[in-house]
Amino acid sequence: MSPKIDIQVGDLRTVEVEAICCPVFEDVELQSSTQLVDQATGGQISRLLELGDHKGKLKQNTVLYVAEGLKAPRICLVGLGKMEKLSLESIRQATAKSMTTLRDLGVKSAACWLPDGVTTEQVQALVVGTKLALYQFKQHQTSSDDEQSESKSLEELLLLVPDKNSKVSVERSVRIAEAIADGTILARDLTNQPANYLTPTDLAETASRVAQAEGNGCLDCQIYNRPELIEKGFNALLGVAQGSQEEPKLIQLSYRPDNAAESTDTVVLVGKGITFDSGGLSLKSGSGMMSMKDDMAGAATVLGTMQVIGKIRPNLNVIGLIAATENMPSGTAQRPGDVVKSYGGKTIEILNTDAEGRLVLADALGYAKTFNPKAVVDLATLTGAVVTALGRCVAGIMGTDQELIDQLKAAGQTSHERLWQLPLFDDYDDALKSDIADVKNIGDGTAGAIAGAAFLKHFAQGCPWAHIDIAGASEYLKGNAYLPKGASGYGVRLLTQFIRDLDAKTI
Ligand code: BES
Ligand code: ZN
Ligand code: ZN
């Protein structure tokens, strides 16, 4: 559960919470606020540091129990590592670790002191680290082995600031960070949801709920159902959908700023929304299918990002497009060898029905171009090959516009949702040549992640485009400080940062 975050002018010594957090660095003296706490408790903190029981190492936590001198009964020493190495990511990690420590102790309220000079980005890192660390997906667990752990949740985080002026600016930063974290949490929830609870229809309903709830009128949601998809020629999407009982949906969320001018730039974000990927007639193995409820992570990221956009309202048109369907085998399923005509008119020979993501994206990218966008960015759990190449800590990026790729990579550094570029040389195009159609949907078995992008390039041609393969980054198998095991919600923070950077450029 996400804690309520309040900002107050105050003092750590007198604040009435169950725990106060004090930062400790490896290489510098105690912060003045911590020194005051130390004095009030008769030097408990300095004694502990002298004994070497806490070294200030990144993510090191020590909880002290206080008999007198403070209103709060606990102090949590939060290791931030070396001050010279302090980064937004170390703040996220350290806060995340200490908040879960306190949560697991059963602490319900905590306070942190924000010193003068703390930057907007640092405040946001603290809030994002807190909210994402405390995320849990427990909707389907009716009872817990450990009944107590069920009720453990940090309900309130109090951020203490020195004066009224800083309160105003911190408040603004906190609300933006909360929006970003909530967008990521929405993406995690949708991705974690099993396929029998989240169909393309459910995705469409969520999108229209987001538009109504968050947009304050600036977000518009349009859903294209099967009849319109047939009429408009979204045949590649329809082909993937034809083996399933579930209705396919093309979901469009459009954000326009209040004072949008003719010349306002448009960015289109496209998400792969396969709510379950069995492989179709090119059926996956049992173990290969096990995590395939996650195959709509790109769609979840686009939805989560559009929710954030509706709240922070950049001065830029942003369109979110989601191509949603199941990929199932049945008597009506698409066959290997079939040929379909995509939205833009190009024909595709389908040689493997498990390479379905690129088919639904082919239609969505073709449609994206009709908005005459400044940039198109697609996110997709497209290939197992990208997981082999890069693992799970980074996503692969490829595209036709180096400036756009560089902007995304920069946003990836800031948000720590990192990107690694793979080449998209023309040399890779040959492997996709079909004998009977314009292009085939698989390559020669080498460079799988690039072959996927090389296929998409055919459909994105004509506007600046980048493709982000999140097959690895969308899921966390081990869990770290603020990425618990399961869906990571990767991309919401990245895309929001990218849009905010573009917005800053237009002002
Ligand atoms: N959804 C999968 C990709 C995937 C694999 C995502 C593992 C997450 C984890 C995609 O639709 C797929 O099956 N791709 C095939 C492409 C191949 C048939 C050319 C793959 O990667 O094996
Ligand atoms: Zn597949
Ligand atoms: Zn897939």
Q: Has residue 170 been placed in a domain?
A: no
Q: Assess whether 255 and 133 both reside in one domain.
A: no
Asked whether the CA dihedral 258, 262, 264, 266 is positive or negative, the reply is positive
CA of 479 to the centre of ligand 3 (A): 23
**Average of per-residue pLDDT across 136-160:** 83
Q: Has residue 497 been placed in a domain?
A: yes
pLDDT digits (tens, 9 = 90+) for 90-101: 999 999 999 999
Of 115, 131, 162, the domain-final residue? 162
Consecutive H or E run containing 327: strand 317-327
- Whether the predicted pLDDT of 329 surpasses 80: yes
Ligand 1 proximity of 356 Cβ (cutoff 6 Å): yes
User: Distance between CA 359 and CA 336 in Å, rounded?
Assistant: 13
Q: Has residue 169 been placed in a domain?
A: no
Q: Assess whether 317 and 363 both reside in one domain.
A: yes
> Sorting pLDDT into bands at 50, 70 and 90, what band is 444?
very high
- State how many domains the chain has: 2
- Whether the predicted pLDDT of 1 surpasses 90: no
Ligand 1 proximity of 351 Cβ (cutoff 6 Å): no
Ligand 1 proximity of 352 Cβ (cutoff 6 Å): yes
> Sorting pLDDT into bands at 50, 70 and 90, what band is 479?
confident
Q: The CATH number of the domain where 225 resides is what? A: 3.40.630.10
Give the residue from 20, 18, 2 showing the smallest Cα distance to 10.
Answer: 20
Q: What's the N-to-C CA distance of the chain in angstroms?
A: 36
DSSP 406-441: HHHHHHHHHHT--EEE----GGGGGGG--SSSSEES
**What is the residue with the minimal CA distance to atom 18 of ligand 1?**
355
Q: Assess whether 194 and 156 both reside in one domain.
A: no
pLDDT at residue number 143: 74
Domain of 131, in residue numbers: 4-162
Annotation marks residue 358 as catalytic:
yes
Q: Which residues have CB less than 5 Å away from ligand 2 (the ion)?
A: 277, 354, 356
Largest CA distance in the chain: 83
- Whether the predicted pLDDT of 148 surpasses 70: no
Q: Assess whether 281 and 422 both reside in one domain.
A: yes
**Average of per-residue pLDDT across 137-163:** 84
User: Distance between CA 155 and CA 82 in Å, rounded?
Assistant: 30
> Sorting pLDDT into bands at 50, 70 and 90, what band is 171?
very high
Q: Has residue 52 been placed in a domain?
A: yes
**Average of per-residue pLDDT across 329-351:** 98
Retrieve residue 94's tokens.
């350290």
Ligand 1 proximity of 354 Cβ (cutoff 6 Å): yes
Whether the model clears a pTM of 0.85, i.e. scores above it, the answer is: yes
Of 127, 162, 197, the domain-final residue? 162
Q: Assess whether 154 and 190 both reside in one domain.
A: no
pLDDT digits (tens, 9 = 90+) for 363-383: 999 999 999 999 999 999 999
pLDDT at residue number 217: 83
Q: The CATH number of the domain where 152 resides is what? A: 3.40.220.10
Is the CB of residue 72 less than 8 Å from the CB of residue 17?
A: yes
> Out of 71, 152, 226, 284, which one is annotated catalytic?
284
Q: Has residue 483 been placed in a domain?
A: yes
Q: Assess whether 490 and 349 both reside in one domain.
A: yes
Q: Assess whether 465 and 360 both reside in one domain.
A: yes
> Sorting pLDDT into bands at 50, 70 and 90, what band is 507?
low
Q: Assess whether 472 and 438 both reside in one domain.
A: yes
pLDDT digits (tens, 9 = 90+) for 42-62: 999 999 999 999 999 999 999
Could you give the dihedral angle defined by the CA atoms of residues 145, 151, 154 and 156, in that order, rounded to the nearest 10 degrees?
Answer: 170
User: Distance between CA 234 and CA 250 in Å, rounded?
Assistant: 9
Q: Which atom of ligand 1 is nearest to the CA of 445?
A: 19
Q: Has residue 172 been placed in a domain?
A: no
Is the CB of residue 244 less than 8 Å from the CB of residue 340?
A: no
CA of 250 to the centre of ligand 2 (A): 18
**Average of per-residue pLDDT across 435-460:** 98
> Sorting pLDDT into bands at 50, 70 and 90, what band is 144?
low
Ligand 1 proximity of 359 Cβ (cutoff 6 Å): no
- Whether the predicted pLDDT of 147 surpasses 90: no
Of 104, 135, 162, the domain-final residue? 162
Burial of 46 (0-12, 13-18, 19+ CB in 10 A): middle
Ligand 1 proximity of 357 Cβ (cutoff 6 Å): yes
Percent of the chain with pLDDT over 90: 93
Dihedrals phi, psi of 365, to nearest 5 degrees: -70, -40
> Sorting pLDDT into bands at 50, 70 and 90, what band is 505?
confident
Ligand nearest to the CA of 287: 1
Percent of the chain with pLDDT over 70: 98
Q: Assess whether 79 and 203 both reside in one domain.
A: no
CA of 383 to the centre of ligand 2 (A): 8
Q: Assess whether 347 and 206 both reside in one domain.
A: yes
Mean pLDDT computed over every residue of the chain: 96
pLDDT at residue number 303: 98
pLDDT at residue number 27: 93
Q: Assess whether 125 and 190 both reside in one domain.
A: no
Angle between helices 164-192 and 297-312 (to 10 degrees): 160
Q: Has residue 362 been placed in a domain?
A: yes
Q: Which atom of ligand 1 is nearest to the CA of 448?
A: 19
> Sorting pLDDT into bands at 50, 70 and 90, what band is 139?
very high
Q: Assess whether 29 and 104 both reside in one domain.
A: yes
Contacts of 212 (CB under 8 A, 6+ apart): 221
Retrieve residue 385's tokens.
């090959």
pLDDT at residue number 215: 65
Q: Has residue 167 been placed in a domain?
A: no
- Report the Cα 395 to chain-centroid distance in Å: 12
pLDDT at residue number 494: 98
- Whether the predicted pLDDT of 145 surpasses 70: no
pLDDT at residue number 52: 95
Q: Which atom of ligand 1 is nearest to the CA of 356?
A: 11
- Whether the predicted pLDDT of 244 surpasses 70: yes
Ligand nearest to the CA of 452: 1
pLDDT at residue number 115: 86
Ligand 1 proximity of 475 Cβ (cutoff 6 Å): no
Annotation marks residue 313 as catalytic:
no
